[in-house]
Structure 1
Amino acid sequence: MAVELYGLDPDQFTAARNERAKEARAAGATGASTRIKTLRKPTLAAWLTNQLVRTDPEGVNDLTQLGDELRAAHLAADGARMRELTPRRHNLVQELVTTARGRAKDRGRPVSQSVADRLTETLDAALIDPGAALLVRSGQLTSALRHLGFGVVDETGEPAKFAPMKPKAVRRTPTKRPARQAAPPPPPPAVDRTLERRRTELRTRAEESESEYREAERAEAESLLDANQHQLADLTATIERLNEELEQARQQLRTAQRQTARLERSLDRATRTAAAAQRRRDANHERLANLDGLGG
């Protein structure tokens, strides 16, 4: 069930999860229904990682194998081997990020640079930490990962958990002798049984109504969260686009300023040349006038 849900697009996750939980509850599997409702919607970087596991399993397998080789070289203090593997590490991570961004764009979901950076951090964590590698290969990430030197954390800064919960130890209790059974109480009157059955029915209906109310509240909150996350992604993309346009405008401004400076220098030279030509013309006119005076 979780494998199927974490393979869906982010905007399909919440509705599909709630529907699966409702189906499980209708089938009487209340425990499974509760577990399904607790599944968290993946962030965009986590969704990209989960998609890589499904669409490029060989690339993810190469990544985890390279991580094993890097850790072995590190433990052996094999500097030559580390220098050999490090370029492969960077190239492989960038290839996977490029693949993930391209496939997301094909599905109408462009990926901003900040999300791509979190995907890069997740893949790097899988290279460094075997526990993070297990999480990545599960294809069920809910948050991007990041290695901080002392462990792996998710996007909120909380430690990422990989180890399954240990079962509680079951202690054997000493065997007791069966106590003497008392005489069974007399059966309750039919009216009491009817009232008790009615109370049970009303209590069940009240619990179902409370559960439905909580589920509706949760669905509404998740819908608002989804809308805010999409709005945040759109605003981030808009900011990046505006930053690119601003940088282009600055480059055009610098080009125009350089062109203006060249034109001003050309104008200054032309002005000086024209002034010198005018002085020569005036001098020639003066000499011509003097010659005309001598001839008269």
Structure 2
Amino acid sequence: MDVERVIDELYGVAPGEFVAARDARAAEARSAEDPAAAKRIAALRRPTLAAWASNRFVRERPEDVGRLLALGETLREAHRLLDPTTFREAAGQQNKVIAAEVRATAALAEEAGHPLSASVRDEVEQLLRAVLADPDIAAEWSAGRLTKPPEAPIGFGGITPEILPPRPPTPPKPDTGARTAAEKAAEKAAAEAARKDEELRSAEAQATEADARVTHLEEELRQARSDRRAARAAVAKASDAAREAHARANEARTDRA
């Protein structure tokens, strides 16, 4: 069995159908006496809706995938070199590209019968920002085998051109060396604004992480309820079978007597 092909196939299956498809392919591997393949397939985790939609986007829109990967390389290189001009230019493209690709991801999911809620779209957006910032996440995303997005944006994913202005030239110092009260007030205000910006970024990251946890738990709850229904049905079936077996046993004892 070509395990890599099977894995690619499974991560194209919608989340609600994933478990049944995975278990069926694992059973095929066992029937083919390929225990290593069966073990690997059985260990695959069901993707969240956001991860599945992202996997579908990667498979359906390779040109857009290449564009986002190239933009991520440009942003990371500018960030590494502390090049504000290049970073501002690339960051100016970032929000437009991400918005367009979130819309495309949602459209593909809706075509497949699984429209994305606002919270799931937010998860897709945060994933794309992480792709721009982290080459490892970019590689995982572009393979189309995600099981869940990162829980919060990382690196410079949330930086916009407004947050990274060009460095202004240093003004000449007054001949007297004395600073005015206005200059001191301006410095204090700038420091306070920077602190508030940092608090805002921290609060946004916490909110995004909480949203991701809620979505993941909701997915697990839906799966648990489905498993419970299946288990109860199995109990009822087994109970009926047991009663029939006892009845046949009693009839056999009566006939023998």
TM class, shorter-length:
0.5 to 0.7
**Among candidates 147, 155, 167, match of residue 153 of structure 2:** 147
1:87-139, Cα deviation, whole Å (9 max, x unpaired): 21111111110011112122221110000000000010000000000110110
Find runs of 4+ consecutive structure 1 residues off by over 4 angstroms.
none
Q: Check 1:31–1:95 CA distance in 2 against 1; reply closer, same or farther (3 A cut).
A: same
Compute the RMSD of aligned alpha carbons: 2.5
**C-alpha displacement at 1:14, in angstroms?**
1.0
CA distance change for structure 1 residues 23 and 101 in 2, over 3 Å: closer, same or farther?
same
Q: Would the aligned equivalents of 2:133 and 2:155 in 1 still touch at CA under 8 Å?
A: no
* Cα offsets for 1:184-230 (capped at 9, x unmatched): xxxxxxxxxxxxxxxxxxxxxxxxxxxxxxxxxxxxx99843749xx
In 2, Cα distance between equivalents of 1:226 and 1:50: 26
**Structure 2 counterpart of 1:120:** 125
**CA distance in 2 between partners of 1:118 and 1:110 (Å):** 14
Q: Between Structure 1 and Structure 2, whose CA radius of gyration is higher?
A: 1
After TM superposition, the structure 1 = structure 2 runs for residues 51-130 of structure 1, keeping only pairs within 5 Å, are: 51-130=56-135
- Using the size of structure 1 for normalisation, the TM-score is 0.51
**Contact kept? 1:11, 1:226, Cα under 8 Å:** no
Does residue 48 (structure 1) correspond to residue 47 (structure 2)? The answer is no
Structure 2 partner of 1:6: 11
- Which of these residues, 132, 135, 139, is aligned with residue 137 of structure 2? 132
Counterparts of 2:34 and 2:52, CA distance in 1 = 28
Shift of 1:86: 0.8
**Partners of 2:122 and 2:225 in 1: how far apart?**
21
Which residue of structure 2 lines up, in the alignment, with residue 17 of structure 1? 22
Deviation readout 1:138-185 (Å, 9 max, x if unpaired): 10000012334499xx956xxxxxxxxxxxxxxxxxxxxxxxxxxxxx
Deviations 1:218-250 (A, max 9, x none): xxx99843749xxxxxxxxxxxxxxxxxxxxxx
Following superposition, the deviation at residue 49 of structure 1 comes to 0.8
> Are residues 38 and 119 of structure 1, via their aligned partners in 2, closer, same or farther at CA, if it must alter by over 3 Å?
same
In the alignment, the residues of structure 2 paired with residue 37 and residue 150 of structure 1 have an alpha-carbon distance, to the nearest angstrom, of 37
Match of 1:225 in 2: 224
Q: Which residue pairs with 2:191 in the alignment?
A: none
Where structure 2 has 5 or more consecutive residues not aligned to the other structure, the ranges are 1-5, 158-208, 214-219, 228-257
The count of aligned residue pairs is 163
Gaps of 5+ in 1: 157-220, 229-296
Q: SS at 2:125's partner residue? A: helix
1:141 counterpart letter in structure 2: L
| Structure 1 residues 15 and 226: alpha-carbon distance in aligned structure 2, compared to 1, 3 A threshold | farther
- Residues of 1 paired with 2:149 and 2:51: CA distance? 5
Kindly indicate whether structure 1 or structure 2 has the higher relative contact order, using CA contacts under 8 Å at least 6 residues apart. 2
Q: Is the 8 A contact 1:50 1:141 kept in 2?
A: yes
Q: 1:50 to 1:82 in 2, by over 3 A?
A: same
Amino acid at match of 1:135: E
Q: TM-score normalized by structure 2? A: 0.59
* Cα gap change, 1:227 to 1:116, in 2 (>3 Å): farther
